[in-house]
Amino acid sequence: MKTLSSITTIIIASFFMTSFNTIESSNLLDKKLNAAAAYNTDEDSETANDFFRRYSDLKKYKSDVMSLYKTRTLGTIWYDENEINEFGSVLYEKAKKSNDLVIPYQKEIDQLFDSSSESNLSKTDADMLLSSLYVVYAKKNNPDTKKLSYDALLKDFLNYSTIEQSTATASTDAKVQYDQYYKLQNVLSKYKKLDRSHKWKPIVAETPYKELRPDAVSSTIAQVRNRLYLLGDLKEDSKSDVYDRELMDAVMKYKVRNGFKPNYILAEEHIKEMNVPLSEKMETLQLNMERCRAIAAQIATNDEYVLVNVPSYEMVYVKNGKVQMTSPVFVGAPLTKTTIFNGEIDRIVFSPYWTVPQSIVQNELKSKIASDPNYLAEKNMEMVNGQVRQKPGPDNSLGLVKFMFPNPDDIYMHDTPSKTLFDFEKRTFSHGCINVKMAKELAVAMLQDYPEWTQEKIDKAMAGKTENSFKLSKKVPIYICYFTSLVNENGEVGFFQDVYERDQESVGQNAVVAQ
């Protein structure tokens, strides 16, 4: 599936508003948070008093912490079900990087973000500790802050007037350093104008719906033609109800820019997407404009980086400000989502071993190994120190090369022998890692500044029988992002599936953008 080639100019947020799901009523405070239409914090609350009695260093922040929950109707602030959301991860990252910031109960908070540590904190305690951290951080970065609330916190994260203030080089109202923000803003203006024209009418398809193909004749065709004319994929609207060559080209253009499989078939899902109200499209544009603000200052300083956009299933490698290559990817399934974060690629590993996760060993391999003594050998696997690992080779699950960037979730990019999976439109197949179709080409491109790594040496390393790890002398930033709309260099906007349903809550919060 081909997606927008201009992803090169994207400034995608490394964090954004995720769904704030209702927390389990695991203790008294959780029950109160769920049961009330709004959490009515009482200074004499037994639960609040208990928390601040146990965490006495936070007593002076009690009023501010509790005020964050006053209008919070959907449960915890920093958790998405049982996991800390990107909201919390970014707060922790920024707090850690903030100079001279004393983090109360830092040991307990560090454990929340250390996958190797077993924290005994309840979700309520953890959430309130992070709320306390937010109060400490916000007051340090904005000493004039007199009153904090959840609405103010939300605005801070959407506008980055507090959380990003310490790293931004200009104020929130200053110009964003990359032009993707303004490209989205320009599209937003056009959509607003189109909305005011009242020309946007729902496409009423014939029922029962049958897929439309070239040369088909249908009243639906005439409506699709008008829609693509309004969107700019067609220069003129002939009003014809025949699926002709002109419409074929427009349909292909529409599909490619929106990440659909590039063919001429008009399925019911395409009609549904065309019928998404303009108001929703504009909200999506606004949300992604705000995401542009988040890493504009960071990415502006990078002359080389890798960017992966989950919703469009695409990776781009930029060097010296120019795109060197792009590649389709597939990402984590809904139950094993790829984490959205920034990191630094520090190693390229050729002919990698794949250590099979214990869950797979227990659930799938254990019985097979017991019934067939030759099973491991037949699958090019071996047992090492009690762990099963797959030896290097073309059939290795990690393919011929992997790219490592240290992170607590142990996510990395790698090649894959399952190339046919890239033919699917929705590519959420992995356990969280990023599978790159053109992984070999990426390795070659990234090693251009290392003359010792000739093409012959790379080929030999990829065909090796043992793992070969090369440490980069210059780490390469990587941005794993979640950008559901973007604009290419021709001004053509693409809207991609909200595969992890991360937009829904954010759009519902009426994100504020500079108009």
**Is the peptide bond prior to 406 cis by the omega test (within 30 degrees of 0)?**
no
What is the H or E stretch that residue 134 is in?
helix 123-141
CA distance 276 to 507: 14
CA distance 339 to 306: 15
CA distance 197 to 387: 65
Could you tell me the two tokens for 313? 């299933």
CA distance 396 to 381: 9
Point out the catalytic residue in the list 270, 292, 433, 481. Answer: 433
Residue type, 205: A
**Burial of 467 per CB tally in 10 Å (0-12, 13-18, 19+):** middle
CA distance 439 to 435: 8
**Is the peptide bond prior to 451 cis by the omega test (within 30 degrees of 0)?**
no
Point out the catalytic residue in the list 270, 292, 414, 481. Answer: 414
DSSP 439: H
CA distance 118 to 99: 28
- Sign of the Cα torsion 167, 170, 176, 178 reads negative
Contact 136, 101 (CB under 8 A): yes
Nearest by Cα to 328 from 439, 490, 223: 439
**Burial of 124 per CB tally in 10 Å (0-12, 13-18, 19+):** buried
Catalytic residue check, 414: yes
CA distance 341 to 337: 12
C-beta atoms surrounding 90 within 10 Å: 22
Catalytic residue check, 270: no
- Expressed in angstroms, the distance from the first to the final Cα of the chain is 33
- In the sheet where 354-355 sits, what is the strand order? 354-355, 387-390, 381-384
CA distance 414 to 191: 39
Angle, helix 123-141 to helix 86-97, in steps of 10 degrees: 50
What is the H or E stretch that residue 348 is in?
strand 341-350
Backbone angles phi, psi at 190, to 5 degrees: -65, -40
* 403 beta partners: 348, 413
C-beta atoms surrounding 82 within 10 Å: 10
Backbone angles phi, psi at 229, to 5 degrees: -70, -45
The residues that are catalytic are 414, 433
